[in-house]
Structure 1
Amino acid sequence: MAYGCRYALPMLKLDRLPHFLAVAEAGSFTRAAERLGLTKAVVSAQVARLEDELGVSLFVRTTRSVALTEDGELLLGHARQILAEAESAQETLRSKWEAPSGVLRIAAPLDYGQSFLVPVLAQFRALHPACRVALDLSDSIVDLHSGNWDLSIRLGWPPDSSLKSRRVGRFTQRLVASPALAARYPAPTCPKELEGWPFVRNSALRDHLGQEFSKGAEQRDRIRPDVVAAITTTPAVLAGALAGLGAAILPDFLVADPLASGDLVPLLPDWHLPEGGIHILYAPARFRPPRVVEFVKLLVSAEKARRDP
């Protein structure tokens, strides 16, 4: 008797995963077939064989809808990562002979993305017209292990140790206010003189207004701001500062133009806040698609030009 045969692990047919993934993302066998350029019968057969080989049901099918089962949800994350790794490997092997291509998928903070990253992506597209871009701008942290993103850009805090990272730049923080607001108070000469000033803060960021000011080698001070408005995005905090809602601590790349135009004025220019790092993060992988390699080169160059014009 062949003991253990009934408990043998099923063999996963990788060539069936694109059919499964298309149905999962489209929510329909018909739309999945259209996306793949195949007939519905072929897609249904491939998914049915995958279910037979794995010994599980991947979808709950009704006459009106298709939904993933619990096992289907489990397979979905792995399928995306497996196919992304396979695509990455293929593109890397072809990179000596082919220009960068495919969709560059990036997640980045809203403020950095709007003010600095989008123009860099325009340059990238001009250099590599065979590439497209998918950019997720949010102050929340995405899961790079899902396989949905080529890279993520994070500002300020140390990167997750389970991810590959590279520091590509830095930013300084500036304490600013509208001229109208600044005119209502005596010009502060030290952080303690900011007591009574209204502040606007980004409620999505950690310890945003509890940071330490420094002047010279020995002077240190902290402020206890009167936060009159807590807003969930940094561009909205900037809008609040411009409107005179309150003073704000904002990154230099976001306030450079308003300071140059006089729409904002610096407070405590002789005092400094801690610098933050700009990090590129990747999920662990042996290969990087050419589109990722070329974009990182361009971003590093753009950051250097920003800091040393």
Structure 2
Amino acid sequence: MLNYKQLHHFWTVARAGGIVRGSERSGLAPQTLSGQIAALEATLGVSLFRRQGRRLVLTDSGHMALDYAEEIFRLGSELEQALQSRATGRAVPFRVGVADVVPKAIAWLLLAPSMELPDPMRIVCREGKLEQLLGELAIHRLDVVLADSPLPSNMDVRGYSHTLGESTIGFFASPALAAGLQGGFPACLDGAPLLLPGEQAAVRAPLLRWLEANGLRPRIVGEFDDSALMRAFGEAGAGIFPGAVLASEQLCAQGNMRRLGDAAEVVETYYAISVERRLTHPAVRAISEAAPIAGTARAVERPSA
């Protein structure tokens, strides 16, 4: 049977980068740590470290063991925090990273189920670039990241992409701008001022292909990494902007915008990226189970560095 104290010693040494540093962090003698790791290796029947010059480096089995150890001790910390919060009546924190290309109205729709759990939940949202948020996820400072694309294949982060839902893309304009457009949709886009998502947005390339396929040449007057900033420019009448049809009710009601029409062939997909294949955090499970296409979660695994 696995000895979790030995696993914790292995985890400490692997994260510290060596026996000596592990000894400094744990307060145990280097000989004690070496003996504990040797006992764990004997139980598992594999070598977890190998010598590389004067350094200890993880073997392939060691990397696998470290991944599982990270998950085990993260869950243990979550369990302790959740039980302490319940005992004291405090809300359990739910730490979410939202990629800045994800429309805020969509983020709300996806996260709303987490606010309806029987146990109180305190949502903590962080917005930023996807790469930055994934870095925070990798070191367990976030529970989940919402994005418009799955985990990039070029990132040395082990994680899983769970498909939450999708929406076709529509075009929106302020009432004054909409009144001055010529012709019906989509012809009215030709020559009209257009605001576009930045190059990091997954929907940008399909949008440009759709415009080209329909022979439309709008005047691109702005490009935005932040979807909320693009919407603010659109509400001010600076240009037509694309937005998720799923959030059109909020766009039209709150911003008094006009929905000109939809690019039915252009679809934006939304993902929850986590470090676990089987979702365990109650809030993450809630948003996954309530998602428009729940049950089609696609787990995309990337090996850790």
- TM-score, normalised to structure 2's length? 0.58
Residue 195 of structure 2: aligned partner: 200
Aligned equivalent of 2:117: 127
Match of 2:75 among 73, 88, 97: 88
Amino acid aligned to 2:176: A
Q: Residue 252 of structure 2 corresponds to which residue in structure 1?
A: 259
Cα deviation, residue 171, structure 1: 1.2
Deviations 1:272-307 (A, max 9, x none): 24112222221246672444334433x427989xxx
What amino acid does structure 2 have at the position aligned with 1:232? D
Is 1:300 the counterpart of 2:295 in the alignment? no
Aligned AA (2:233): G
2:231 is aligned with 1:234 = no
Corresponding position of 2:62: none
**CA-CA distance at 1:91 after TM superposition:** 5.7
Alpha-carbon displacement from aligned partner over 1:235-283 (angstroms, at most 9, x marks no partner): 111111111100111122443233357822223x365241122222212
Matched, 1:185 2:181: yes
Which of residues 259, 264, 275 in structure 2 aligns to 1:283?
275
CA positional deviation for 1:84: 5.8
Report the Cα offset of residue 220 of structure 1.
4.3
SS in 2 for 1:149: coil
CA contact (8 A) 2:165 2:293 kept: no
| Residue in structure 1 matched with residue 165 of structure 2 by the alignment | 169
Q: What is the aligned partner in structure 1 of residue 208 from structure 2?
A: 211
Other-structure match for 1:109: 99
For the 8 Å contact 1:80–1:148, the answer to whether it is kept is no
User: Deviation string for 1:21-78 (max 9, x for gaps)?
Assistant: xxxxxxxxxxxxxxxxxxxxxxxxx9945488579xxxxxxxxxxxxxxxxxxxxxxx
Aligned-residue offset at 1:103: 2.6
SS in structure 1 of the partner of residue 291 of structure 2: helix
Matched-pair contact (CA < 8 Å) for 2:193–2:240: yes
Percent identity over paired residues = 16
Q: Distance in 1 between matches of 2:281 and 2:203?
A: 36
Aligned-residue offset at 1:234: 0.8
* Selected match of 1:272 from 264, 269, 273: 264
Contact 2:11 2:70 in 1 (8 A): no
What residue identity is the alignment partner of 2:214? D
* Worse-matched range after superposition: 250-259 or 229-238: 250-259
How many aligned positions are there? Answer: 236
What is the RMSD computed on CA atoms of the aligned residues? Answer: 4.6
- Looking at structure 1, the residues matched to 294 and 183 of structure 2 have their Cα atoms a distance apart, in angstroms, of 33
1:211: how far off? 3.2
Letter in 1 for 2:208: Q
Residue type matched to 2:266 in 1? P
Structure 1 runs not aligned, ≥5 long: 1-10, 21-45, 56-78, 305-309
Q: Report which of the two structures shows the higher radius of gyration computed on alpha carbons.
A: 1
Structure 2 unmatched runs, 5+:
1-6, 17-21, 32-65, 296-305
Cα-to-partner distance string for 1:106-142 (whole Å, 9 max, x where unaligned): 2123475732444765653452444432221235342
Checking the alignment, whether the CA contact within 8 Å between 1:12 and 1:50 is kept in structure 2 is no
**Letter of the 1:150 counterpart:** D
CA distance in structure 2 between the partners assigned to 1:110 and 1:178 by the alignment: 23
Contact persistence 1:179–1:263 (CA under 8 A): yes
Greater Cα shift, 110-119 or 276-285: 110-119
Distance 1:53 1:150 in 2: 34
Q: SS of the residue aligned with 1:300?
A: coil
> Is 2:93–2:124's contact at 8 Å kept on the other side of the alignment?
yes
Q: Which amino acid aligns with 2:175?
A: P
SS in 2 for 1:107: strand
Give SS of 1:246's match.
Answer: coil
| Equivalent position SS for 2:280 | coil
Please give the residue correspondences for 1:18-57 in structure 2 after superposition, counting only pairs within 5 Å: 48=24, 50=26
Q: Structure 1, residues 166-197: CA drift from partner, whole Å, max 9, x if none?
A: 21211121111112112223124445x53321
Amino acid aligned to 1:88: L
Kept in 1: contact 2:11–2:69 (CA 8 A): no
